[in-house]
Amino acid sequence: MVADTGGSGDPRARMAMRTIGQSQSISGSKLTLTMQPNTTSTLVAAIESSNDSADYQSAADALVDNLTQGNVDDHNASHRGWWNSYWSQSFVQIGDKDVEKSWYGSLYLLGSVSRSGKYAPGLWGNWITGDMNWNGDYHTNYNYQAPFYAALTTNHIAQMDAYDQPVLDWMSRGQQLAQQNGFQGVLYPVGISPNGTSADTNLYNQKSDAVNVASDMVMRYEQTRDATYAAKVYPFLKQVGLFWQNYLTKDSSGTYTITNDAPQEGNAYPQTNSILSLGLVHLLMEGLTDMSAALGQDAGTRATWQDIDAHLAPLPTMTQNGQTVFRETSTGAGWVNDGNDIDIQAVYPGGQVGLDSPAGLVQTARNTVDQLTAAWHGGNAPATFYAAAARVGYDPATILANLHTEAVDNSYPNLAVHHGGGGIENINVTTSGLDEMLLQSFQGDVKVFADWPANSNAKFGDLMADGGFLISSSMADNAVQYVRAVSQKGGDLVVTNPWPGSPVQVYRGGSHAGTVSGTKITLSTSAGETITLARPGTSYATVQAELAQPVKAGSGTTSTSLSTGFESGQPQPTWTDSVDTAGGDVVGVTGINSDSTGPQTGVRSGETSRTGTAALMYSGSAAGSSPHAYLKVYDLSAAPLDIGTAKTLGYWIYPESHATTPWVPAGSTESECVAVDLVFTDGSTLRDSGAVDQNGDQIHPAHQCGRLTPDAWNHVTVDLAAKNSGKRIARVLVGYDHPGGSGGYRGYIDDLSIT
């Protein structure tokens, strides 16, 4: 069965199909399959184009004629292996599962439409069932670039490989077009297509198309610092730079001005200092400076690029509804709120304004986002607007709410976000929009959760930052839990301190490397090295455990109760043997014996229990003037347990003495200096709240010493609302605390409830 497509000329394609395993017959373009009961058959298809082979017709037939079921199985295994590797490259986890799903759906589409060594996708991707507007070409004034931006921070760089070839194939024609118009370097039209062809050679009075397509290349280099890649695209970027070196006009003050360059297609003369072009030319000059230094080339010209970067005309501004905002040009197009976001594109992809910029400039950018009301869900804006809003710290709750609308109301069942612009450009809406909220690095320093809403847990892994760093981090209870950076190329890692005012614990390859302090932390790295940052006192094992745990849902919801006997099928502890560094930490307590490296809390079955067969064992060995150990057991931060005005904590505790375990010294009561403790969402604790048990004894572990009967089950209850009414429980701990205490302690807790 075959089908040919094509018009009066190339390209043409042939699709061939057949079945494997059963009888088939062909009549015209119809294939009829005859199957017997309890049998299987496989339908296989192949497609070959005249660009792939001059003998594309016979080649397509041969592809399916020679296929066996074993070949199909091999293809399937390879296919699954490819996707397994693809999904292992990065991840995000957030409370809004619709937005999270859109992030993954967009990456699925990116992996489906763009593969290394293949033709880059046009405006509508590989397949379309309706009209292919705008010739389905590579529109160079943002549409072609946008879907590939999604590959950058998500660490899917291979999906960018197809992007460069049509741009590079057009370079000689770009040089010719520049010469025909009296310019040097290259000049690109709005619509190029594969193999040096063009579907639309109209310039629309825009000079920015070549520097626009250069943006992906510069951003890719800045993130990967791949010198081999730089060598590949550097000749093209130099030609783009040559155009601007000669096209810009320089006044007596040394300021470079862009003249007669339309921000939108067809803007009539005069159009001076298009804010889009200003941002992109800055980005180009920065990229050329960095690449030339890395490649050891053009040191003389480098000074020119740096001078242009330092002295380009300022981003034009105006007043809109009482706010200072960016405008499209200094002379010409002014404020335009039509579903485009040109006014803010110097921020993204231009990279000229961010959280490290002067406060006034950042505020102007936020005002611009505020006034571009049509851009959130406009035809041409979402692919770049959300990332721009995040880069300047616009209200993150508003960004997420609009991303939710994109995911729910502006997405097809196949998860493609749709608007009036070209189709696959919207692959970048959720990906870069969300990534820039979670991680920013374009200003030379890594910022985790740079623009993230309060009371919203989140986690991400191996997102890519400038300099070739893969960054992982987690946010829980409004606090960053850790930062892990994998250095792919070496060089300095600069991180904005995630714990302002606090020193930072550093681990190199899992080994303690001291602490550092400051607002921005600079650490040298070597290629392949892993740097882990955490709050002081956080063990490497704790970070590793947190890395392995899924994020909890957002903290906007609450739980009403917790009840467990630690039996199979009942709520199990979130952590085992894990010190709560934020809720009490550990001092002067080690493992009770040679088999334990530190204090312990873990479920034991078949030992000592009040009901059933399981209970929570605790143990440790104390020494020093003020030994204590607070270990995390349950994480309720995803849905904190609301105390309200009537909640009771109840549990049974069995403190062991020397009579039941040799690890507790004879006569010691250390096992009694233990209590279940709670950490509330405001950071306060049950033990320090003044709460008492049913006997009037403070529930602080140190005040339970001597109050419990050893080698027996003791029932403890606490009226939580008496001292903590209205609070919400984020974590459940088991704490040992006894100033001056010494020696081993051990015991069990069972039938824990908060109801």
Question: Among 66-70, 292-296, 462-466, 614-618, whose mean pLDDT is lowest?
Answer: 66-70
Q: How far apart are CA 434 and CA 451, in angstroms?
A: 10
Neighbour-count burial for 449-467, b at 16+ CB within 10 Å, e otherwise: bbbbbeebbbbbbbbbbbb
Residue 688 has pLDDT above 80, yes or no: yes
Assess contact for 610 and 619: CB atoms under 8 A: no
Beta-bridge mates of residue 613? none
Beta-bridge mates of residue 748? 617, 654
Average pLDDT over residues 111-137: 89
Amino acid 364: pLDDT: 98
Residue 373 buriedness (CB in 10 A; 0-12 / 13-18 / 19+): exposed
Residue 30 has pLDDT above 90, yes or no: no
The percent of residues above 70 in pLDDT, for the chain, comes to: 98
Nearest Cα neighbor of 601 from 636, 631, 565, 564 is 631
Amino acid 450: pLDDT: 97
Average pLDDT over residues 213-228: 98
Q: 225 — phi, psi (to 5°)?
A: 50, 40
Amino acid 420: pLDDT: 81
Residues 290-327 pLDDT 10s: 999 999 999 999 999 999 999 999 999 999 999 999 99
Average pLDDT over residues 68-95: 93
Q: How far apart are CA 381 and CA 336, in angstroms?
A: 12
Amino acid 8: pLDDT: 36
The percent of residues above 90 in pLDDT, for the chain, comes to: 79
Q: How many CA atoms lie within 13 A of 47 on its CB side?
A: 9
Average pLDDT over residues 179-190: 97
Residues 492-517 pLDDT 10s: 999 999 999 999 999 999 999 999 99
Amino acid 71: pLDDT: 92
Task: Provide the strand spans (E) within 2-103.
Answer: 2-5, 13-20, 23-27, 30-34, 42-49, 91-94
Q: Looking up tokens 């320093």, which residue turns up?
A: 445
Amino acid 552: pLDDT: 57
Assess contact for 93 and 473: CB atoms under 8 A: no
Q: Is the peptide bond before 358 cis (omega within 30 degrees of 0)?
A: no
One-letter amino acid identity for 17?
M
Amino acid 455: pLDDT: 83
Amino acid 492: pLDDT: 97
Assess contact for 61 and 2: CB atoms under 8 A: yes
Local confidence band at 638 (pLDDT 50, 70, 90 cut-offs): confident
Question: Among 240-249, 311-320, 361-370, 399-408, whose mean pLDDT is lowest?
Answer: 399-408
Assess contact for 353 and 391: CB atoms under 8 A: yes
Amino acid 36: pLDDT: 86
Nearest Cα neighbor of 393 from 414, 412, 365 is 365
Average pLDDT over residues 435-458: 95
Token readout for 569 is: 């099928």
Q: What is the pTM of this model?
A: 0.74
Residue 241 has pLDDT above 60, yes or no: yes
Residue 532: in which H helix or E strand, if any? strand 530-534
Amino acid 646: pLDDT: 82
Selected residue with higher pLDDT from 10 and 169? 169
Three-class DSSP category at 82: helix
Token readout for 202 is: 């109209």
Q: How far apart are CA 148 and CA 387, in angstroms?
A: 14
Q: How far apart are the first and last CA of the chain?
A: 68
Nearest Cα neighbor of 279 from 267, 268, 263 is 263
Amino acid 559: pLDDT: 67
Residue 357 has pLDDT above 90, yes or no: yes
Three-class DSSP category at 145: coil
**Mean pLDDT for the chain?**
93
3-state secondary structure 328-354: CCCECCCCCCCCCCHHHCCCCCCCCCC
Average pLDDT over residues 53-68: 90
Amino acid 550: pLDDT: 77
Q: How far apart are CA 506 and CA 511, in angstroms?
A: 8
Three-class DSSP category at 493: strand
Residue 3 has pLDDT above 60, yes or no: no
Average pLDDT over residues 126-145: 87
Residue 51 has pLDDT above 90, yes or no: no
Average pLDDT over residues 581-606: 93
Local confidence band at 228 (pLDDT 50, 70, 90 cut-offs): very high
Average pLDDT over residues 540-551: 85
Amino acid 126: pLDDT: 83
